[in-house]
Amino acid sequence: MRKVVILGGGYGGLKILLQLLENDLPDDVHITVMDRNPYHSMKTEFYTIAAGTSADKDVRAAFPTDDRVTYVYGEITEIDTENELIHIRESSEPVEYDYLVIGLGCEDNYHGVEGAEEFTESVQTFAKVRHTGLSVGNLGAYGKVTIVGAGLSGIEVASEIRESRADLNIRLLDRGGSVLKAFDPKIQAHVADWFTKNDVEVLHHANVEYVEKDGVCNNGVCYVNDVTIWTAGVRPCYLARALPFEKDKQEKLVVNDFYQVPEATNIYVVGDCASSEHSPSGQLAGQQGEQIADVLLAIFRGEEPRKPKEIKLKGTLGSLGKSDGFGNMMQQPVTGLLPRLAKSGVLWLNKRH
Ligand SMILES: Cc1cc2nc3c(=O)[nH]c(=O)nc-3n(C[C@H](O)[C@H](O)[C@H](O)COP(=O)(O)OP(=O)(O)OC[C@H]3O[C@@H](n4cnc5c(N)ncnc54)[C@H](O)[C@@H]3O)c2cc1C
């Protein structure tokens, strides 16, 4: 039997699994999926868990049941590429692989800010975002929440919390001169206006110096605060960063045209762990996953894999609570209810795999 091991059943890993199962996988190939959670986590919706506006079960989906797949649930602690073994905390029995896919996503990047790791809440794993939701939910009337970082996830977290709790004092720290610096000015203006109308304080040109248990110090001013949520940057999962292979400036693993690690071509990298000209996203991970599955299927059938086509992304959609949003649709910046409905539609499709 040829053993394929997929590390991480997120957007990239799950797409590869589904494509392999749906496309005449040769009989002598067996797939093992390893994840800490016994379900697919819809990370793009984690902001709703932070705000307490979704139930846990609304942002996860069951993995497919299939005789050709074994699931190993546990915390991966080491990828031993020399002996081709994967170790998990819960078992002394490592999992062997002939072909490996690394799709372990990303974690917070604290950029060396003192106290940030210790005293901020996170939206990067299911367990952490549940904790964030609990901290926000348990706040008394007029509690103070600071969100550090005004990219897509920071905006979604801040607006969803506002919609969930009208009483809270919410402050958003933005490193740039306007929120969502990667987006069209029309979208930036719409989002800024939403925050003004909904009483979310936005501080631009932020430079957080340190975080304490009950405060955030920014540009020499310390704000007393109850809950601080970190959305100010990510880096690939530490297990990927620890591998003895070349990485790019963002610490992502460098891959060739076939998503293989050049130093070990039986190892593939997908999503937030893989070096790419595109910004990390669930959409990108899914498209890469489809292409990796095509490469693997060709190799399993003894064929020469075709070079994957250029990735074409459809644009990003963001939410401002449940009835407003923004995004690029058909290469146009769009704001209001339409992009919000489109985002809900994408989630619905994802849930149906
Ligand atoms: C709040 C928020 C909003 C976002 N909104 C959008 C959006 O609107 N559109 C968009 O395209 N992208 C969005 N993203 C980004 C998107 O979620 C990621 O880019 C995407 O999830 C990356 O997919 P992936 O397959 O690389 O990793 P993931 O989907 O993160 O999957 C990684 C998997 O690995 C598992 N794992 C990790 N480490 C271990 C370990 N040590 N042991 C066992 N299992 C492990 C995890 O449980 C997880 O299942 C958002 C992210 C956040 C946080």
Angstrom distance (rounded) from CA 351 to CA 180:
27
CB 120 within 8 A of CB 146: no
Residue position matching structure tokens 């985002």: 343
pLDDT tops 70 at residue 316: yes
Give, as one character, the DSSP assignment of residue 56.
Answer: G
- Please state the pTM of the whole predicted model: 0.96
Distance 311 CA to ligand 1 centre (A): 19
Q: Is 75 in the pocket of ligand 1 (CB under 6 A)?
A: yes
Domain 2-36+74-107+234-300 and domain 111-232 have a common topology: yes
DSSP 89: T
pLDDT tens per residue, range 329-352: 888 999 999 999 999 988 888 777
- Is the CB of 146 within 6 Å of ligand 1? no
Tell me which CATH homologous superfamily contains domain 111-232. FAD/NAD(P)-binding domain (3.50.50.60)
CATH 3.50.50.60 at 2-36+74-107+234-300, yes or no: yes
Atom of ligand 1 nearest to the CA of 284: 11
Could you read off the pLDDT of 97-109 as tens digits, one per residue? 999 999 999 999 9
- Coil, helix or strand at residue 134: helix
- 30-89 residue pLDDT tens: 999 999 999 999 999 999 999 999 999 999 999 999 999 999 999 999 999 999 999 999
Domain boundaries, the chain: 2-36+74-107+234-300, 111-232
Contact 152, 126 (CB under 8 A): no
Cβ atoms < 10 Å from Cβ of 184: 16
Closest Cα to atom 4 of ligand 1: 44
* Short-list 8, 44, 46, CA closest to 316: 44
